[in-house]
Amino acid sequence: MLRLKTLNIFEGKETLSVLPSGKLLINTINAHSYNTARKDALFAEALLKGDVLIPDGASIVKACRWLKAKSRPRERCAGYDLFDFEMNRLEERGGTCFFLGSSPAVLELIRRRAAVEYPHVRVRTYSPPYKSEFSEEESRAMIEAVNRSDPDLLWIGMTAPKQEKWVYAHWDELEIHCHCGTIGAVFDFYAGTVKRAPRWWQRHSLEWLYRLWKEPRRMWRRYIIGNTLFVWYVLREKYFQ
């Protein structure tokens, strides 16, 4: 069972520069993914056995401190923070970045924006079928597309927990030498198809509230019920586990 008390969680965005080079699987954890992993054993295993787990949520940071957990991250490190850091670092040296996931329309918007903001980065993309599970043939096509590109940076954007479980299952088949991040909604944020919360909301740990305000029908269960469930799980860890 996934427990915040014993997880190895990265300290925060200010220390991203210490990540080692080479093949590295970077996942994120927030209240929603923690809740999901409590009920999904394969997802929990994927998070536990990845190389790096970054705290994509102020709730995770605060809960770890309150629990006096093994890891007590200093600050939130959103998936977008990881994306921004890695893309800028790749821009400095030049190379190939591969985006696996999302729709052809979103990927085209990503290519257009990246061409302006990261002119020294070659962008390659692949849009997998939109479905809950991939066939062996579909997964093979995705793996081959990545391997042919030989990227210097790999982003996976297929929503959690599907993206984490897929990468975990096929990690040994991905013949890459680079960092790989499972960043879900960042594809839409960067493409501009979903607006990210303004900086004031981000600085005050209210990005979740902004998304709830903008998309109440889609997000109410995740944030109203989900946040309550997260508090309950943390209380159980504190007093009963």
Q: Over the stretch 31-57, which tens digit does the pLDDT of each residue have?
A: 999 999 999 999 999 999 999 999 998
From CA 46, how far away is CA 71, in angstroms rounded? Answer: 18
pLDDT in tens, 23-34: 999 999 999 999
Distance from chain centroid for Cα 206: 18
Provide the residue-wise pLDDT of the chain in tens; the chain has 241 residues.
Answer: 789 999 999 998 889 999 999 999 999 999 999 999 999 999 999 999 999 999 998 999 999 999 999 999 999 999 999 999 999 999 999 999 999 999 999 999 999 999 999 999 999 999 999 988 999 999 999 999 999 999 999 999 998 999 999 999 999 999 999 999 999 889 999 999 998 888 888 887 788 888 888 888 888 888 899 999 999 999 999 888 7
What is the Rg, in whole angstroms, of the alpha carbon atoms belonging to the chain? Answer: 17
Q: What is the pLDDT of residue 204?
A: 78
Instruction: Name the residue ranges covered by the structural domains of the chain.
Output: 13-240
Q: Cα separation of 64 and 71, whole Å?
A: 7
